[in-house]
Chain A
Amino acid sequence: MSETKPLPVVDFLKIPEDGNPYLEGYRCKKCGSIYLGERNVCSKCFARDEMEVIKLTETGILHSYAIVFRSFPGIDVPYISAIVDLDGGGTIKGNLINIEPDPDKIEFNMPVKITYGDALGRKDKEGNSYLSYFFEPA
């Protein structure tokens, strides 16, 4: 099998042919609300067909988190499940890595940045690899 490009872990992770991966958002031109994934109607201001596609910023702050010690069978623990407010608007959830999973080490509002990497070795039924996004301290 030849070397194939990894697939995006979620639809809003974009992997251009030439260039770096990025996260895509949809922003309502009327009220500025930002959504992950394609949509036509704004659920905040109800405007229709006013969405514009944007690149989400790759820096933000840690809004909230939990440290997961028990998950489903086969999932490595512990890990930090993090809610991050992006500097350019929008909120996303993901794993916070490269920091100890210890509440004494993690600070609310700490600056974080998005990094991209292999999806922890997970492959689908066809054997495809995936690219995921992660947060790490900035």
Chain B
Amino acid sequence: MSDVYVMGVDMIKFGRFPDRSVPNIGAEAALMALDDAGLGIQDMQALYCGNLGQANAMVGQRILQEIGQTGMPVVNVANACATGATAFREAWMSIKAGMYDVVLAVGVEQMGKGLLGGAGGGEGIPKEGLLGSGTMPCVFAEAGMEHSKEHGTTFEQFAKISVKNHHHSTMNPKAMYQIETPLDEVMNAEMISYPNTKLMCSVNVDGSAAAVLVSEKKAKELGMGRAVKVRASAMASDPYTDRDLVMPDVNACTRLAAKDAYEQAGIGPEDVNLVELHDCFATAEMLHYENLGLCKDGEAGRMIDEGHVELGGKVPVNVSGGLLSKGHPLGATGIANIYEVCTHLRGEAGARQVQGAKIGMTHVIGLGTACGIHILEKTN
């Protein structure tokens, strides 16, 4: 099977674009990724498009209507917050399968403001606030409190994650916000679902990201130059766990996918120089230090206390600013984090550059549950 390379990748600056259409936002990133690869839409053999909000509305084809209708096959995917990673992985798989040499993956989302999840619906009466809460800040607060129960993790430790990611975002011009948020500001912000304050919740934004993936043969033909090698692409759903009927399990599926990814790449967590992981809430990031093997179980609090996950630390996490400050356009997130890691591997991340980065990891979780992990490696 051919190795797969990212030949071009880019994302738009995340923001709010209520006057634009979803395909229009996606088309912008697609053109940027094509330019980055030095290729045109006519060179693409297939398009894998990730979008959640208009999952039944042929977003991929409508992107091509804006940038070039070549007749190529288009697959539209939806997989909750793992949607972008799923589109990227389908593109990767098509090259692995020997079907194509050059394909395009696009992730795009246009979000409203406000709380996600929990609306309930169904028969009878609304259940929100009656049988607990299905809002995302609450669901991830419950997952974080489980960690508190087992390991004594504190509100302050969770809050420090948000301080870190907001700090990182001050160095990322493509992040939604570039604002420092000191610890007291994070902890005193409006409490949404204890222990997640408003500044510990990801930002709902509009955005898009895209990548051009090529086979080894094609990469050699085009010149390796700034190409980034995909060392692993892993995906898992949630295996059975005792509480997952009422408590979506983001841990077990991350551990499954991480194990698979490390095995594919033939490396261990100690070989990873930077990680972009799914910090949809500050409480979530804490869990994934352990789930991804960046530290032993029970040591996540120390990872943030001792600065190991900051820029300049042992394994910087979410130097882009993460979903907490860069923003979280659901369908775009899984490709935007691949853009971030590639940018570091190419040595082009400017002020937030992780020095000497050779191997990076991306991770997303779509509640329900889907976990997508990619390991990427610098080529030269």
> B245, A95: Cβ atoms under 8 Å?
no
Cβ < 8 Å to B, chain A residues 89-134: 91-95, 103, 108-109, 119-120, 122-124, 130, 132-133
| Chain B contact residues, majority secondary structure | loop
CB distance from A122 to the nearest CB of B (A): 4
Q: Which residues of B contact A95 (CB under 8 A)?
A: 129-132
Interface size, chain B (Cβ < 8 Å): 38
In the assembled complex, the Cα of A35 lies from the Cα of B242 at a distance in Å of 9
Q: Assuming the A-B contacts A9-B124, A93-B246, are A71 and B129 also in contact, with contact meaning beta carbons closer than 8 angstroms in the complex?
A: yes
Q: Which residues of B contact A83 (CB under 8 A)?
A: 132, 142, 146, 243, 246-247
Q: Which of B95-103, B167-175, B186-194 contacts A (4 or more CB under 8 A)?
A: B186-194
Instruction: Look across to chain A and name the residue whose beta carbon is closest to the beta carbon of B155.
Output: A103
Instruction: Look across to chain B and name the residue whose beta carbon is closest to the beta carbon of A129.
Output: B125
CB distance from A31 to the nearest CB of B (A): 10
Q: Which of B63-71, B104-112, B133-141, B212-220 contacts A (4 or more CB under 8 A)?
A: B133-141
A47 within 8 A of B: no
In the assembled complex, the Cα of A93 lies from the Cα of B145 at a distance in Å of 14
Cβ < 8 Å to A, chain B residues 228-262: 240, 242-243, 245-247
A44 within 8 A of B: yes
The tally of CB-CB contacts under 8 A between chains A and B is 132
> A36, B132: Cβ atoms under 8 Å?
no
A81 within 8 A of B: yes
Q: Mark B56-89, 1 if CB is under 8 A from A, else 0.
A: 0000000000000000000000000000000000
Instruction: Look across to chain B and name the residue whose beta carbon is closest to the beta carbon of A35.
Output: B245
> B245, A75: Cβ atoms under 8 Å?
no
Q: Which residues of A contact B113 (CB under 8 A)?
A: none
CB distance from B251 to the nearest CB of A (A): 12
> B245, A69: Cβ atoms under 8 Å?
no
A14 within 8 A of B: no
Q: What is the size category of the interface that chain A forms with chain B?
A: 35 or more
Q: Mark A42-76, 1 if CB is under 8 A from B, else 0.
A: 01100000000000000000011111111110011
Q: Assuming the A-B contacts A70-B193, A132-B130, are A44 and B138 also in contact, with contact meaning beta carbons closer than 8 angstroms in the complex?
A: no
A15 within 8 A of B: no
In the assembled complex, the Cα of A10 lies from the Cα of B125 at a distance in Å of 10
Q: Which residues of B contact A77 (CB under 8 A)?
A: 129
Option from A69, A94, A103, A108 in Cβ contact (under 8 Å) with B132: A94
Option from B118, B142, B192, B245 in Cβ contact (under 8 Å) with A72: B118
Q: Assuming the A-B contacts A10-B131, A79-B129, A95-B131, are A67 and B194 also in contact, with contact meaning beta carbons closer than 8 angstroms in the complex?
A: yes
Q: Assuming the A-B contacts A9-B124, A122-B126, are A68 and B138 also in contact, with contact meaning beta carbons closer than 8 angstroms in the complex?
A: yes
> A65, B145: Cβ atoms under 8 Å?
yes
> B125, A119: Cβ atoms under 8 Å?
yes
Q: Which residues of B contact A35 (CB under 8 A)?
A: 245
In the assembled complex, the Cα of A122 lies from the Cα of B155 at a distance in Å of 34
Option from A7, A9, A76 in Cβ contact (under 8 Å) with B129: A76
> B145, A75: Cβ atoms under 8 Å?
no
In the assembled complex, the Cα of A70 lies from the Cα of B300 at a distance in Å of 27
> B131, A130: Cβ atoms under 8 Å?
no
> A65, B135: Cβ atoms under 8 Å?
no
> A119, B146: Cβ atoms under 8 Å?
no
B149 within 8 A of A: yes
Cβ < 8 Å to B, chain A residues 29-43: 33, 35-36, 43
Q: Which residues of B contact A124 (CB under 8 A)?
A: 124-125
> A68, B193: Cβ atoms under 8 Å?
yes
Q: Assuming the A-B contacts A63-B149, A64-B145, A93-B246, are A69 and B125 also in contact, with contact meaning beta carbons closer than 8 angstroms in the complex?
A: no
Instruction: Look across to chain A and name the residue whose beta carbon is closest to the beta carbon of B247.
Output: A83
Instruction: Look across to chain A and name the residue whose beta carbon is closest to the beta carbon of B146.
Output: A64
Q: Which residues of A contact B190 (CB under 8 A)?
A: 69-70
> What are 11 sample pairs from A and B whose C-beta atoms fall under 8 A apart?
A65-B142, A66-B137, A67-B193, A68-B193, A71-B128, A72-B129, A83-B142, A94-B130, A103-B194, A119-B130, A124-B124
Q: Which residues of B pack against A, CB within 8 Å?
A: 115, 118-119, 124-133, 135, 137-139, 141-143, 145-146, 148-149, 155, 190-196, 240, 242-243, 245-247
- 6 additional A-B residue pairs with CB within 8 Å, beyond A66-B142, A81-B142, A103-B195: A9-B124, A67-B193, A69-B194, A70-B137, A83-B246, A95-B130
